[in-house]
Structure 1
Amino acid sequence: MSSRLEPTPPLTATRASLHTLALGDVTAERLASAGIELSGDATVLSRLAGVLDPGDPDFAIVTPDKD
């Protein structure tokens, strides 16, 4: 048995507004103020944000050599 879900909800966002999604701030008001257009069930994004680990703003992407 397979539990295949339809890909919802479609959204339209600019590159600059994607940080709103990445930060997990997915309230309808916050999405609209960031210029993200959403059609469909917005609770899907809330559920996704609920299972993601919070980001670490101090994460060192590049560590320079000390030599």
Structure 2
Amino acid sequence: MPLVVTVQQDSRDACAADLARVCALLDLTPILLPRRWVGSERWMARATQSAPAGEGQGREG
């Protein structure tokens, strides 16, 4: 299983910005675009070393 990195932030914009920064620094591909975490006010996004087939640039939340 490839490495998966999770980013959590208090706002969608902050989460998206940190996801972009992590992807650029570590050469990762988004697999889960920012979405509100169930039961929380936090936003979460994920990236991996290689995108799963058919995922393109991630799933919208």
TM-score by length of 1: 0.25
* Higher helix fraction (1 or 2): 1
Q: In terms of Rg, which structure is larger?
A: 1
* Higher strand fraction (1 or 2): 2
TM-score by length of 2: 0.27
